[in-house]
Amino acid sequence: MTLKDVEGMMSISVEAAAAHDSLSDDKELSNTYERLTALDGTRRFALAAAGSHKEEVGRVRSTSSKNSL
């Protein structure tokens, strides 16, 4: 185990303690939930947009290959 490993383990402990403290605060917990909900909505939108883009690319390719025949 190196000094860098120990420092990494210590930083995880500090982050875990900060997370634990923030979860004991109802207002902070509510704010965290709202941010996570917003991120999930953004992720869903991005996935839907990517899926739509993929379908459109498939349609364009299909049309292009039919036109080249």
**pLDDT band at 16, cuts 50/70/90?**
confident
Burial class (CB in 10 A: 0-12, 13-18, 19+), 32: middle
So what's the pLDDT on residue 11?
80
SS (H, E, C) 16-47: HHHHHHHHCCHHHHHHHHHHHHHHHHHHHHHH
- Domain residue limits, the chain: 3-65
Cα(28)–Cα(61) distance, integer angstroms: 49
pTM: 0.41
So what's the pLDDT on residue 67?
63
Query: Per-residue pLDDT tens for 39-58?
Result: 888 888 888 888 887 787 77
So what's the pLDDT on residue 25?
81
Mean pLDDT for all residues in the chain: 80
